[in-house]
Amino acid sequence: MYKALVKPLLFQLDAERAHHLIFDNLKRAYRLPGTAALLRGLYDFQHPALTREVFGLTFRNPVGLAAGFDKNAVLTDELAALGFGFVEIGTVTPRPQPGNVQPRLFRLPQDEALVNRMGFNNEGAGAAAQRLRQRRNRQTIIGGNIGKNKDTPNEQAAQDYVACVEALHEVVDYFVVNVSSPNTPGLRQLQEREPLIQLLQQVQERNQSLPQPRPLLLKIAPDLTDSQLDDILLIARETNLSGLVATNTTISRAELRTTADHVTSLGAGGLSGRPLRARATEVIRYLHQRAGDALPIIGAGGIHSPQDAKEKLAAGAALVQLYTGFIYEGPALVGRINRALVG
């Protein structure tokens, strides 16, 4: 139904407007008696064999929703009813910010891809925390993807990440430090060895000082070289990270079916979707071959089918996340993957 009826209508709208329309209607429908049970009946496939123990947390299944979809923790209960084993909110910053100028989200249907330059648009960590305190579903793991405000200098970035940890600590199950988005000017410079060590050490120090410290993960770009990935592994050990998220969006525009002129006309931004699948899997495999199970990986990038998810897991991912595939394939994708994993 989604691909035959809903998707064609949504794809006639501006991508960001369609996103808000989905949010508004899902939120409204979920309030109606019986809707939660209906959604679970349609989409929420669960099986004991799907349970995963990762980062010291129990995930009811290994298929999660990546950060960027529910930035402000508006739909965590509704998304759980669609069958996700975990939902990662954000990227959240300490203070609210509008993000980049619109339009800033674009579809590449020929490639089943998206280009976005959202720029960490969100209502701030405090607003997200308040919503998470009110959620009903406590079984689904919630991750908090955290970043810095655009006007915060890199030299003071750690203060922003620490502020997010303090605001969200009581309401999320794990944190992801996002320094790999291409849409905040200068942010990716924090992936360099020395700035990254200093940032993670400060964030980890504050995290460990709080009651029940949360697993702390790092989200990395697919555009890193092998030597940079080796540095990431060393940094992960040095700062006692619990795991990695591989990968974020890419700045590459290689081998797209969409015409180069059209892609260029869209401007800068991170590319996600099918074109990212192979590179994301390469990064996962490289990291896992060197770190093994000692550093669990959440695999993300180009998962549009059960086979894509299995590929990430076979490469070494402990869990997987959807975003662009969820938009192109619809909510049934979550259950299809989980059913395929059982067998």
- The per-residue pLDDT of the chain, averaged, comes to 97
- How does residue 137 score in pLDDT terms, banded at 50, 70 and 90? confident
Q: Looking at this protein, which amino acid is placed at residue 122? A: N
Enumerate residues 6+ apart whose C-beta is below 8 A from 139: 60, 80
Interval 306-341: pLDDT, tens: 999 999 999 999 999 999 999 999 999 999 999 999
The structure tokens 């093994």 sit at 292
Asked if residue 20 has pLDDT above 90, the reply is: yes
Instruction: State yes or no: pLDDT of 128 exceeds 90.
Output: yes
Phi and psi at 75, nearest 5°, equal -125, 30
- Greatest Cα pair distance, the chain, in angstroms, is 54
In the numeric block, the tokens 């959604």 are attached to 39
pLDDT at 129: 98
Q: Which of 194, 195, 215, 212 is nearest to 204 (CA)?
A: 215
Residue 343 reports pLDDT greater than 90:
no
Which regions of 234-290 does DSSP assign to beta strands (E)?
Answer: 243-246, 270-273
Q: Dihedral (C-alpha) 212, 76, 124, 152: value to the nearest 10 degrees?
A: 70
Q: Is the peptide bond before 35 cis (omega within 30 degrees of 0)?
A: no
Beta-carbon neighbour count of residue 143 at 10 Å?
Answer: 28
Report the alpha-carbon distance of residue 95 to residue 222 in Å, rounded.
28
- Token pair belonging to 15: 């991508």
| Active-site residue flag, 181 | yes
pLDDT at residue 139 in the model: 87
Tell me, what's the pLDDT at 119? 97
pLDDT for position 138: 85
- Is residue 291 within 8 Å of 318, Cβ to Cβ? no
Residues 6+ apart with CB under 8 A from 131: 72, 73, 74, 76
Tell me phi and psi for residue 264, to 5 degrees.
-65, -35
Q: At a CB cut-off of 8 Å and minimum separation 6, what does 267 contact?
A: 117
Average pLDDT over residues 174-196: 95
Q: Please give the full DSSP string across 221-247, using - where no structure is assigned.
A: -TT--HHHHHHHHHHHHHTT--EEEE-
Tell me how crowded residue 227 is: count the other CB atoms within 10 A of its CB: 8
Note the pLDDT of residue 1: 82
Whether residue 142 contacts residue 182, with contact meaning beta carbons closer than 8 Å, is answered with no
- Identify the active-site residue in 180, 181, 242, 272: 181
CA-to-CA dists, residue 130 to 50, 126, 135, 296, 316, angstroms:
30, 6, 9, 29, 35
CA distance 220 to 158: 17
In 3D space, the residue among 138, 15, 2 whose CA is nearest the CA of residue 80 turns out to be 138
Question: Where do the H-state alpha helices sit in 135-214?
Answer: 157-168, 193-209
Spatial contact of 244 and 217, defined as CB atoms under 8 Å apart: yes
Give the mean model confidence (pLDDT) for residues 125-144. 95
Angle, CA 66 vertex, CA 17 and CA 103 arms, to 5°: 25
